[in-house]
Structure 1
Amino acid sequence: MAMNKQARLFALCFFLYCILCSPSCECSSPEEKYYIVGVNTFLIEEGRDFNAPSRSPSKPPVQVGGLGRDKYLANRIFSHVPNSTNLTSSPLETNAFSAPVSSRSEMQGPEYTVTVSIGTPALEQLMGIDTLSSLSWIQCKPCKGCTSNAKCTFTDTNSLARGSEGDYITDTLQVGENTFEEVYIGCAYSFTQSRKLATSGRSGLGRGPLSLVSQKADGQFSYCLPNYLSARATGSLNLGKDSIPSSVKVYTPIQKEPKFASSAYILGLEGISVGGQRLSVNMQVPGALPTITYIHTVVMATQLVKPLYNALRASFEEKMKTYAPAVKPASPFGDFQPCYQLSNITSVKIPIVTLHFKGNANFDVPAVGTLLQVSSDVVCFPFSPSPNDAVNVIGDVQQQGITVAFDNLNNRIGFGSGSC
């Protein structure tokens, strides 16, 4: 009896400790892992809108050296540049340099951006962060199908190669307080796309030899993406030698897949847990191609192959019935479900979703990536079924507020706790 009282007292103290954490608290016991989250954590700030999620990309980015979904430029340019893989210089051992990251709410979700300056005299450009692009590119005058007002004009003397949709150029690039000469950049004159951009181009951070990371950052960079529903939140993009903070202690090796985009950062996803309980599901889809998981900053929400998504959603929904029985269900929001009403409550207990990667790298999805507010009093589970039978994508919503590190020198990706 004494032991039972002691156990109950410990449980009560543990619960009180968790409930007093603010704005959210990660709690665990030998059997379960959960957050107790203040409802204000999910608040959409005035002036920010949330729109229905998209199911794109419709196909995996299998084009070698291409931009994947944004393949309207690089494929054409690369075909006109002989021996393009030999154009990059040797590692510069550049000291770490950084730039602030902001977000812009778009038609299909967030676009995380950095401001850079290109050319002499320098012209400021707002460029989206893209971890799949193997080439940085901007819109140049004249430009058919471009959506941004910020465009550059280059003379033919700057052009290395003329493609059917753009030029391949070198110019000066300024990131933060650092200026780099002879940076290889794509210059688009015409393209078509399904997504309306608020930026003037993309900052290519992929694994290709012509990406900004390979050219000027010694193959290393890290970022912290802010909550895109907050107009005031600011994150950071850190590039170059020693750009990976000491808070990153968990790493998983970068995988190779010859038939997939060579610029993609592929991870070995071995399993998923919900509330500390591992899902019992085959990570390899029977009869399909080898399942690939890559991490991306342009895809909004994490997409999982259907058997894995169905198991994750069912487990989360079942856990919520136990963790938050008083929370009322709400109608689905596009692909996002289950959804819940948070009116008349101040906090909610939610199970922690943990992604298990090779190398014993366990990544707890942050609270704001586990439930996403889509209206004044409704939150939804922001995962969706993948449109591809054998491709998982770790989207940017699940990466908000943590440090993600890309270490190409040591062929690994790391995750760090903390906030932007």
Structure 2
Amino acid sequence: MEAVRLLRLLVVVVIAASCTTGALAATPQLKGLRMHLTHVDAHGNYSRLQLLQRAARRSHHRMSRLVARATGVPVALSSKAVASGGDLQVPVHAGNGDFLMDLAIGTPALAYSAIVDTGSDLVWTQCKPCVDCFKQSTAVFDPSSSSTYATLPCSSSFCNDLPTSTCTSASKCGYTYTYGDASSTQGVLATETFTLAKTKLPGIAFGCGDTNEGDGFSQGAGLVGLGRGPLSLVSQLGLEKFSYCLTSLDDTSKSPLLLGSVADISESAATSPVQTTPLIKNPSQPSFYYVSLTGLTVGSTHITLPRSAFAIQDDGTGGVIVDSGTSITYLEMKGYRALKKAFVAQMALPTADGSGIGLDLCFQAPAKGVDQVSVPKLVFHFDGSADLDLPAENYMALDSGSGALCLTVMGSRGLSIIGNFQQQNFQFVYDVGPDKLSFAAVQCNKL
């Protein structure tokens, strides 16, 4: 009798183990994934000047939004109120990011493109029935047409991770996610199967937004947050690292985005030594990737500022973040003034008006022989003896029409941002496990 009971128990254990194994097998364990990012202006047939104008306009808007989030002071930026005071000549959208990711949502899977944002966490798309939705190039996602869509209850841990949530009458997790200005998304938190590079990823928590405001979203159908919080795509996938390598502004090649085990820098692809600096956490802004900027070098001038100049302050303001969605680099005014002074002193060219582009410091290049113009070297020094030694094209932009040679660095207050002009053709690895950022020069279109 005892033997029979033991046999039955063994059968139950075997069946339970089989069921558990089957459940695990049904959920693919993502180790590494290679995707591609497309610049929002890649297919716009814009001139170099127009690309610069549009990038500057998006950057000023995004900088204002990020500063507003960091300082808690709302910023309203009109279509003409750019940091330089210039009136841009090209109709542009306010920017919530510079790069788009192709993905598919639901079962059957429907293709969308979404803005990629290292400065926020929530993954979301517009959903039917729309109360207030912006125009998008693809059909709005219809949850009722997908067999894998499920709303999340108010008791969900993801619901608790939202900065603002409500419990609907049907006990669904309602959310409102704001971006520091008039941009926001509102709807219900749900789970769905996302398809990235033909890999199906079930159970991704995302915002199904029926009320979405902000013209900066209209480049895509929503947004994919790659920030440090639990709601971001990389956190949900349990990945400790990701990297990207952004191509130049006027290069129509796509930029590789590498998730997980494939995110490391290949020594054979790197054209400079790999540099590593610690990632710093700011409890007031847990989504941002902060680094410690210790100094700057402009040509022969080494600019050393007190550590407090770029440090995170007690109230959560200040600090330096690395951001993929801002084109221009913005430095706290004390640092920017020193950098500007050093450039003016070492450039053997007269200054020029850059307001038509949307940049602050420009020089008048000679009509002939512009290729022979010498510009001072620019190096950013980070904690851990990591130096971001930039080629001239990563910080000087030429408008061939007017001959204006402009610095793609500007001043800010409340937050400093290392933008994507400075990151182009460098591979950046965000290693959130040991909290470190690594980078090296790489030809991104060959990666």
TM-score, structure 1 as length reference: 0.71
- C-alpha distance in structure 2 between counterparts of 1:293 and 1:120, whole Å: 41
- C-alpha distance in structure 2 between counterparts of 1:287 and 1:46, whole Å: 41
Give the direction of change, closer, same or farther, for the CA distance of 1:329–1:62 in structure 2 (3 Å limit): closer
Q: Select which of 243, 254, 270 maps to 2:294.
A: 270
Deviations 1:338-380 (A, max 9, x none): 2333532233322221111111111123322211234534331
Q: Secondary structure at the match of 1:144?
A: coil
**Amino acid across the alignment from 1:168:** L
What is the aligned length? 331
Match of 1:204 in 2: 225
- C-alpha distance in structure 2 between counterparts of 1:234 and 1:118, whole Å: 22
Match of 1:369 in 2: 394
- C-alpha distance in structure 2 between counterparts of 1:245 and 1:207, whole Å: 21
Q: Secondary structure at the match of 2:231?
A: coil
Contact 2:311–2:319 (8 Å) recurs in 1: no
Matched, 1:234 2:254: yes
Deviations 1:131-181 (A, max 9, x none): 111121112231514242332111396221233621211111111132211
**Amino acid across the alignment from 1:412:** K
| Aligned-residue offset at 1:219 | 2.1
Structure 1 gaps of 5+ residues are: 1-44, 70-104
Matched, 1:383 2:409: yes
Identity rate, percent: 25
Give the direction of change, closer, same or farther, for the CA distance of 1:188–1:393 in structure 2 (3 Å limit): same
Q: Select which of 99, 102, 123 maps to 1:136.
A: 123
- C-alpha distance in structure 2 between counterparts of 1:339 and 1:192, whole Å: 39
Give the direction of change, closer, same or farther, for the CA distance of 1:187–1:372 in structure 2 (3 Å limit): farther
Give the direction of change, closer, same or farther, for the CA distance of 1:368–1:200 in structure 2 (3 Å limit): farther
The root-mean-square deviation of aligned C-alpha atoms, in Å, is: 3.1
Give the direction of change, closer, same or farther, for the CA distance of 1:414–1:146 in structure 2 (3 Å limit): same
Match of 1:90 in 2: none
**Amino acid across the alignment from 1:330:** A
- C-alpha distance in structure 2 between counterparts of 1:256 and 1:319, whole Å: 36
Within a 5 Å distance, the mapping from 1:13-28 to structure 2 comes to none
Give the direction of change, closer, same or farther, for the CA distance of 1:393–1:358 in structure 2 (3 Å limit): same
Matched, 1:305 2:332: yes
| Aligned-residue offset at 1:289 | 3.5
Matched, 1:281 2:305: yes
Give the direction of change, closer, same or farther, for the CA distance of 1:134–1:288 in structure 2 (3 Å limit): closer
**Amino acid across the alignment from 2:430:** F
**Amino acid across the alignment from 1:383:** V
- C-alpha distance in structure 2 between counterparts of 1:241 and 1:287, whole Å: 32
Q: Select which of 127, 140, 148 maps to 2:136.
A: 148
Give the direction of change, closer, same or farther, for the CA distance of 1:139–1:362 in structure 2 (3 Å limit): same
- C-alpha distance in structure 1 between counterparts of 2:191 and 2:65, whole Å: 31
More helix by share: 2
Q: Which moved more, 1:328-337 or 1:362-371?
A: 328-337
Match of 2:347 in 1: 320
Contact 1:143–1:188 (8 Å) recurs in 2: no
Q: Select which of 131, 148, 159 maps to 2:151.
A: 159
- C-alpha distance in structure 1 between counterparts of 2:243 and 2:392, whole Å: 21
